[in-house]
Structure 1
Amino acid sequence: MSSLCVELIDAGSYIILDAYFASKELIEELRKHNLRLITRVRISPLGKHPLPTPPLKRSRGRPRIWGKSVKLRDLFDEKDCFTKETLLLYGKMVTLRYRAIDLHWDCPLQRVRFVLAVWPEGKQIILLSTDVTLSATEILTAYSWLFQIEVTFRNLIQLLSGFSYRFWIKDMTPTQGWPKDLILSRYPKKHQQQVQTKVEAMERFVLILAMALAVLQLVSLEMPMTIWKDFPHWFRTLPCNGYPSEQIVLLTLAEQRKRILAKSTSGLLSDKILNYSIAIHETVESGAFCHMKPTV
């Protein structure tokens, strides 16, 4: 992840990631290239206070590099230090309590800003920002933008089965569970080429379905009334913004696909495929089925 961020993102940019990527190694690599990280951390990490002013006379032993440790979870008990405010998060107004505190976490020389937030239902989260100049509300708002990516992933998975590919090669020895160490250089060249071909096929599969999802979104934005008019099912309530979801657009296009394709130019491949499928269907229904070759 750090290699991708360094390669594709300009210096000075902000990177928003989920709790899986909250690691000291990632922060260290991003800091080398002047990249800022906003992420969520677990509820049980330890922060370090800055070192106090050293005494005039140095004591024996190795000098300390960290200050006093503090459990971030315990800071939720100091309710008087929290601020209550209503923010626009995840597309709606949310009233929550939050608190910001600057501590050392990955480096004894640089601090990070922790934001402790308590949601209306009582859920507690801790966010981390390597940019200590950001306010707590800015960090909370920026992290809420990550939800937009999650919605896209959900549609790709549940609506279009965008990650339903399979990865196996018959020539390779099967492993128990997911392989923990998939380093191509340790395999023969034949297997390396097969793995690269599989990865390329999976990337193309996901990319094509991402393009299909973009088409559904464009149709929803540009032709909402047409979609609602041809929608084959019934909804008890309609969305307040008036735009159909990607699933509604998909169901409408699936219901109207024959009529849409019938209007296509006769020279298009889709028209030939449709005519062939209709001919096969009519032949099967008549009981006089015979083998037909497509004319494409």
Structure 2
Amino acid sequence: MAPDILCIGSVLWDIIGRSPTSMRLGSDVPGRITRLPGGVAMNIAMTLRRFGMTPALLTAVGRDAEGDELIAACDRLGLGTDTVYRSDDLPTDRYMAIEGANGLVAAIADAHSLEAAGDKILRPLADGRLGTEVAPWSGPIALDGNLTEGLLAEIAVSPLFLRADLRVAPASPGKAGRLLPLLNHPSATLYVNLEEANILARSEAATAAEAAQALLARGAGRVLVTNGGAPAAEGRRGQGVITGQPPQVLVTRVTGAGDTFMAAHLVAERRGADRQSALDEALRAAATYVSGDIGS
């Protein structure tokens, strides 16, 4: 089946340890450890698939046992894997996180294979499978910040992305700065949390609305800023900033919440929702996710 959206970035194994106990540095507590398909691009693709879209993945996965298992899991989920770059000499990437009752305690993302693969993951956009330089892909693209700053800078000026509806998410606050080349891209929508927004805008905003305004002032065309359980904001150049209040829920997990928000917002817009309705729908979807009411 032909894809209707491309998800470019990290597809890896999420190894998540969760405990119902609040944790601090050095805590040693009982809990559960799970291994699930994850990564920003993967999380977005899974949510899009749940909402009825047909995503194709552009990423790097090793030709090791973990990679074969990951590709099989993607296929079972209905995600397009024909466009995945399979490397003979790079291992499949992994992400490890610890979550307590007080939220994310610590995480390490090992996405070195994706970084090493570089622009090889973009070949389907140029070789005719998904487009060419003269006839580039014209649909939506979800792009994550696990790519290198150099590759993201290339994407910002590449004719392969000239007609795309580009939706961009940082992989983490530590990688938010990588998105600077895309800040002024004419068709880019940035999805960030408050910390990431302040890094990109070089601001000290205390609310999502203030951070959205700061990003617009820095030249962004369109931004969405979340702030946990506090109001989120959506800002557009020349159209101002609107806000939405996330529903109050019991938080049972946090890894993947931002990716779910982004996917739900994109789907709501494709269904014709206005600005406020799309923001509110995305906030409800993210709240449902962190409450654990839907499967990973």
TM-score (norm 1): 0.24
Q: Which structure ranks higher in relative contact order (CA pairs < 8 Å, sequence separation ≥ 6)?
A: 2
Larger radius of gyration between Structure 1 and Structure 2: 1
TM-score (norm 2): 0.24
Structure that is richer in helix per residue: 1
